[in-house]
């Protein structure tokens, strides 16, 4: 790679090589078809970019994004997904997100209802304990009276 390239340009070229490798190795894309999808008129332009002799052109970047669904964020930074999602995937994710949000809200409502029920049951339990304690105290205090009435 030419030394006059900036670090950003070097990063873009490195990321472009990864993208090309993905297409050529994993997706069995040939150099000619890849070049054409990018908007290059020959493979020599692709070779020059891959060898670091030239920078990827704006036209080629647009071709990568529009024709090959390459994520421009990945091309420029190397971060995120290499490929853009299609509209059906995005719509599916939006629907899933909506459903999960609704379920989360319902779960929060259910949890609040259960917390309220627990508080009521704890209060009832405390009331029963107080009544039982009062009854035991009453029985102890009136033990003799109770025996008298039993006779």
Taking only the tens place, the pLDDT of each residue in 51-95 is 989 999 999 999 999 888 898 889 999 988 898 877 776 677 678
Same domain? For 69 and 14 the reply is yes
Long-range contacts of 54-60 (CB under 8 A, 24+ apart): 55/5, 55/9, 55/12, 55/13, 56/12, 56/13, 56/16
Portion of the chain with pLDDT greater than 70, in percent: 92
Q: How many residues does the chain have?
A: 151
Q: Name every residue whose Cβ is closer than 8 Å to that of residue 17 and which is 6 or more positions away in sequence.
A: 50
Query: pLDDT-based confidence at 109, cuts 50/70/90?
Result: very high
Residue 116 has pLDDT above 60, yes or no: yes
> Is 1 among the domain residues?
no
Q: What is the pLDDT of residue 3?
A: 56
Dist. CA 45–CA 47, nearest whole Å: 5
Range of the domain at 145: 88-150
Partners of 70 in the β-ladder: 83
Same domain? For 57 and 79 the reply is yes
Where a domain ends, among 32, 61, 84? 84
Same domain? For 13 and 78 the reply is yes
Same domain? For 103 and 80 the reply is no
Give me 1's structure tokens: 């790679």
112 half-sphere exposure, CB direction, 13 A CA radius:
6
Dist. CA 82–CA 79, nearest whole Å: 8
Same domain? For 120 and 142 the reply is yes
Same domain? For 111 and 127 the reply is yes
75 and 16 in contact (C-beta within 8 Å)? yes
Same domain? For 93 and 136 the reply is yes
* Structural domain total, the chain: 2
> Is 38 among the domain residues?
yes
Dist. CA 99–CA 12, nearest whole Å: 38
Least Cα distance to 32 among 47, 22, 18 occurs for: 47
Q: What is the pLDDT of residue 151?
A: 63
Mean pLDDT of 14-29: 89
Query: pLDDT-based confidence at 117, cuts 50/70/90?
Result: very high
């Amino acid at each position: 790679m030419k030394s006059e390239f900036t670090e950003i340009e070097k990063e873009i070229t490195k990321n472009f090589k990864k993208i090309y490798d993905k297409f050529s190795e994993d997706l069995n894309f040939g150099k000619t078809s890849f070049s054409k999808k990018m908007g290059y008129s020959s493979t020599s332009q692709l070779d020059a970019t891959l060898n670091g002799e030239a920078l990827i052109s704006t036209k080629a970047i647009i071709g990568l994004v529009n024709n090959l669904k390459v994520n421009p964020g990945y091309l420029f930074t190397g971060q995120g997904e290499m490929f853009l999602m299609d509209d059906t995937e995005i719509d599916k994710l939006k629907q899933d997100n909506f459903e999960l949000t609704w379920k989360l809200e319902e779960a929060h409502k259910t949890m609040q209802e259960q917390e309220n029920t627990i508080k009521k049951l704890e209060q009832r339990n405390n009331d029963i304990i107080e009544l039982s304690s009062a009854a035991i105290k009453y029985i102890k205090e009136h033990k003799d009276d109770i025996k008298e009435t039993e006779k």
